[in-house]
């Protein structure tokens, strides 16, 4: 277990799900935790939990789709704690619609701005501080960043973009002491699919997938992420099935398409 006492970790999308759980875990390890998300009210609650867990916490209301908001958030983090040791790009939104059902094309741009460009903006502004401390850069991507999934075309595109961006930045940073970890979870028990946007660009409010099947619990997911962060791994694919699928994609891509379709399942079934 890496010593995080006094280290500063910035987490976007920290108001719920993976981001929130990571924040509390690192606060319990006496880290300085910078919480970034849009909801001030939700961040205030997470900040309180982090402080109760034993860490210092700073909540900064941030829309990662706004590059200036990302710059200000990073500045607040450095002003408060003196630097940044780890940045976790976790903020994200998803969708649930076939392309031929979409009636509001702006959802493609919105998802790309949050999931991909939000991580670019935060990384760009945090990078000098990460270099100064030979820190760790983390991208919470998805298996859809490695394999396309039906009804998730915009989400998958944004995660493929993240994968390419962070793979490229990793090479650029080889001699700086900054490591880059890309995390690719599958289905995890969080609220993200309840907030997914439908074909009209509006939240569907309830997951159309049977969440009792094939879904990893949040605690297990975060434990795996924390272990990979402690080891400063370069890539984390969480299940044996997903790892096998990555190999199959090279030799039997059509079969992987069938697996992806079955994993999502028909929404009307």
| DSSP conformation class of 232 | T
Distance of CA 9 to the CA centre of its chain: 14
CA gap 22, 189 in Å, rounded? 14
3-state secondary structure of 265: coil
CA gap 28, 16 in Å, rounded? 17
CA gap 48, 195 in Å, rounded? 24
Q: What's the half-sphere exposure (Cβ side, CA atoms, 13 Å) at 97?
A: 21
| DSSP conformation class of 11 | E
E strand spans, the chain: 8-12, 32-37, 56-61, 86-89, 136-140, 179-184, 235-237
Cβ(206)–Cβ(176) below 8 Å: no
Active site residue 121: no
The encoded tokens of residue 146 equal: 């490695």
Q: Which one of 26, 116, 121, 155 is the catalytic residue?
A: 155
Q: What long-range pairs does 78-82 form, CB within 8 A, spacing at least 24?
A: 78/129, 80/32, 80/34, 81/8, 81/32, 81/34, 81/56, 82/8
- Return the active site residues: 155
């Amino acid at each position: 277990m890496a010593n995080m006492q006094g280290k500063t970790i910035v987490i976007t999308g920290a108001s719920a799900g993976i981001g929130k759980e990571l924040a509390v875990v690192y606060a319990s390890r006496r880290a300085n935790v910078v919480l970034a998300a849009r909801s001030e009210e939700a961040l205030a609650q997470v900040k309180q939990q982090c402080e109760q867990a034993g860490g210092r916490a700073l909540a900064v209301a941030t829309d990662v789709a706004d590059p200036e908001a990302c710059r200000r958030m990073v500045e607040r983090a450095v002003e408060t704690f003196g630097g940044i040791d780890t940045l976790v790009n976790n903020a994200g939104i998803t969708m649930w619609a076939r392309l031929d059902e979409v009636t509001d094309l702006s959802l493609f741009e919105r998802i790309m701005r949050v999931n991909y460009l939000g991580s670019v903006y935060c990384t760009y502004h945090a990078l000098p501080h990460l270099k100064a401390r030979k820190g760790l850069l983390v991208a919470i991507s998805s298996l859809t960043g490695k394999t396309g999934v039906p009804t998730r075309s915009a989400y998958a595109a944004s995660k493929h973009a993240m994968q390419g961006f962070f793979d490229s930045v990793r090479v650029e940073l080889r001699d700086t002491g900054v490591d880059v970890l890309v995390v690719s979870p599958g289905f995890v028990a969080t609220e993200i699919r309840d907030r997914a946007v439908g074909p009209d660009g509006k939240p569907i409010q309830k997951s159309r997938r049977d969440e009792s099947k094939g879904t990893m619990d949040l605690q297990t997911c975060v434990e795996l992420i924390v272990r990979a962060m402690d080891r400063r791994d370069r890539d984390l694919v969480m299940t044996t099935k997903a790892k096998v699928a990555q190999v199959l994609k090279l030799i039997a891509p059509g079969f992987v398409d069938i697996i992806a379709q079955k994993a999502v399942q028909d929404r009307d079934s």
